[in-house]
């Protein structure tokens, strides 16, 4: 059984004026997402700036998300690290906190071999009893999970999914061919939701859902319901906006978009900086063109 089907939001971490986690705002955002049909909350991922959270903040955010979500939708915690021991620690603590699943990114900087990836993910999966989704984003980590490696990992009982953000559709198709029903594939790119659904994908772990939760959910739901043309139209209509949301490194643009909408999610932690004026102007234009009220 799938951990979730549809659109899971890779939720941002809001900060106050002192760059502290704004928990009141995080509660507001979680409720906004659930009220607008988001199918899962993914906390402390790339979009959540997990790499600049302290260990204490990381775990506090996970515990808080579980508490506020209160079983209304699944909560999936980002618990990856380039240290297997650290990833196990975060994963076990997230399990204690009551999450429904884990999202574990490939080790970054180390550039593990495929053998090393199998060992890394297997050790993490065996350290917990909850489902685990692999996260492949080689553009950020310098490490790609090869299709045959995904196939080997799919044999581990609680490795149930893959967030695929390589952008390589041929690779996704090979994974789908090798693994079949043994692993659920989620798009890690908002501009490739439909292509992944067409080869059996279960949905998306989305950035754009931070501002368009209902619309992102509908792209997947329409496809599932057999309304392929409507799903495709919604995906294609969103492309210019998605392009602007990735004109600078994520989550710089999505936080800017949320602040333009009056959501007051605060700024970013260093080394991330505010969006360049030229890119921000293009983002604002594409938001207005899409029909978002600012």
Q: Write the DSSP symbol of residue 8.
A: E
Q: What Rg value do the Cα atoms of the chain yield, rounded?
A: 18
* Catalytic residue status for 163: yes
Total number of residues shown for the chain: 294
d(CA 37, CA 214): 6
From residue 59, give the alpha-carbon distance in Å to each of 50, 82, 91, 122: 10, 17, 10, 22
Of 25, 163, 202, 255, which is the active-site residue? 163
- Phi and psi angles of residue 250, each rounded to the nearest 5 degrees, phi first: -65, 135
Give me the torsion for CA of 228, 229, 234, 240, rounded to 10°. 120
From residue 125, give the alpha-carbon distance in Å to each of 20, 161, 183: 31, 12, 14
**Residues facing residue 186 across a β-bridge:** 163, 203
Q: Are 255 and 269 in contact (CB under 8 A)?
A: no
From residue 181, give the alpha-carbon distance in Å to each of 92, 149, 151, 163, 185: 27, 16, 11, 15, 10
Of 90, 135, 186, 223, which is the active-site residue? 135
* Catalytic residue status for 135: yes
d(CA 256, CA 245): 9
Tokens of 129: 């009893």
List CB contacts of 99: < 8 A, sequence separation 6 or more. 62, 65, 66, 75, 76, 77, 130
Among all residues, which ones are annotated catalytic?
Answer: 135, 163
């Amino acid at each position: 059984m799938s951990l979730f089907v549809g659109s899971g939001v890779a939720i941002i971490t809001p900060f106050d004026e002192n760059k502290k986690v704004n928990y009141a705002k995080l509660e507001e955002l979680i409720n906004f997402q659930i009220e607008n049909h988001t199918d899962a909350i993914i906390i402390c991922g790339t979009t959540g700036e997990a790499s600049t959270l302290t260990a204490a903040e990381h775990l506090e955010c996970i515990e808080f998300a579980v508490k506020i979500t209160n079983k209304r939708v699944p909560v999936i915690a980002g618990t990856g690290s380039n240290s297997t021991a650290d990833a196990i620690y975060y994963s076990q603590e997230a399990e204690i906190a009551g999450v429904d699943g884990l999202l574990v990114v490939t080790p970054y900087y180390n550039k593990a071999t495929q053998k090393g990836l199998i060992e890394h993910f297997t050790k993490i999966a065996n350290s917990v009893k909850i489902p685990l989704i692999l996260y492949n984003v080689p553009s950020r980590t310098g490490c790609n999970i090869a299709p045959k490696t995904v196939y080997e990992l799919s044999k581990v009982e609680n490795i149930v999914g893959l967030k695929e953000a390589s952008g390589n559709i041929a690779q996704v198709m090979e994974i789908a061919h090798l693994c079949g029903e043994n692993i659920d594939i989620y798009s890690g790119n908002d501009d490739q939701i439909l292509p992944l659904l067409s080869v059996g994908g279960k949905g998306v772990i989305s950035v754009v859902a931070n501002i368009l939760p209902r619309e992102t959910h509908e792209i997947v739901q329409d496809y599932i319901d057999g309304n392929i043309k409507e799903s495709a139209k919604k995906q294609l209509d969103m492309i210019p906006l998605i392009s602007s949301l990735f004109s600078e490194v994520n989550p710089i643009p999505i936080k800017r978009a949320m602040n333009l909408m009056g959501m007051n999610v605060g700024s970013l932690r260093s080394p991330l900086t505010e969006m360049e004026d030229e890119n921000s102007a293009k983002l604002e234009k594409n938001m207005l063109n899409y029909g978002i009220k600012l």
